[in-house]
Amino acid sequence: MTPVKVRNITVGEGKPVICVPVVGTDKESIIRDAADILHSPADLMEWRADWFHDVNDINAVLDVLQTLRETVGELPVLMTFRTKAEGGEREISADAYAELCITAAKSGLVDLIDAELFSPKAVDIIQGVHEAGIPIIVSNHDFEKTPDTQELMRRLRLMDLLGGDILKIAVMPKSRKDVLTLLEVTEEMSSVCTKPLVTMAMSGLGTITRISGEIFGSALTFGTVSKASAPGQMAADRLKEILDALHEAL
């Protein structure tokens, strides 16, 4: 595997990186929550821009990013707009989505961008983000089910083919077998892919996938300091304790 270096962290090496989301709806709450993350074991902060009420105003977005950068210092920042179709808070046109991701990447204020695999503008976004000189997470989220092994592998391979630097997939398990399917795919893909993977089964049923990444091959996991951005996330402090314990046992 070829790890991805982002400021002072490395994704794809050793213990999974802990990412903590910020889901405030206005600038004040976003900055307040970001400041709280500095007192947590977070390795990476994710700004979920789809929660921001003024996200359609690109100048307002850049203003938030500037203040975020000043607030968190060297803590790496991932910017994500999660579309409604994949569990996000609001709709956005394909063109506006691409403009948001590429403009943020070119601003120099973020360290990673998340782009959804099935966005009509995915290829343009990946190219634009790479031209800005920062890595990109190409992602897919299924809040309804867990696709079968063949389909999950197909999606991850497509992310790789399109040029994703980190490949992310999240699914909703309906049974323990679904959780095992996700773990099996993670293990298989990590043995043949040179890029870091981020995989998870959501909800309480999938909690094991959020803590077992170092064993099965998932390089990043999500914890909370305040509000969760997806079902099944646990407190960042508790998550770090578990990851540390598992790492020491290996």
Separation between Cα atoms, residue 249 and residue 34, nearest integer Å: 32
Catalytic residue among 5, 15, 130, 141: 141
Read off the tokens for 73. 């210092």
Q: Which residue has the tokens 């997806």?
A: 230
247 is catalytic: no
CA dist 218 and 197 (Å) reads 5
Residue type at 199 in one-letter notation: T
- Residue 250 to residue 246: CA distance in whole angstroms: 6
Distance from the first to the final alpha carbon of the chain: 19
Phi, psi at 169, each rounded to 5° = -140, 135
141 a catalytic residue? yes
Structure token digits, residue 128 = 């634009």
Q: Is 249 in contact with 15 (CB distance < 8 Å)?
A: no
Residue 51 per-residue DSSP state: G
From 53, 84, 168, 195, active-site residue = 168
Give the contacts of 66 (CB within 8 A, at least 6 positions apart): 109
Q: How many degrees, rounded to 5, is the angle at CA 22 between CA 18 and CA 23?
A: 135
Instruction: Kindly list the catalytic residues.
Output: 141, 168
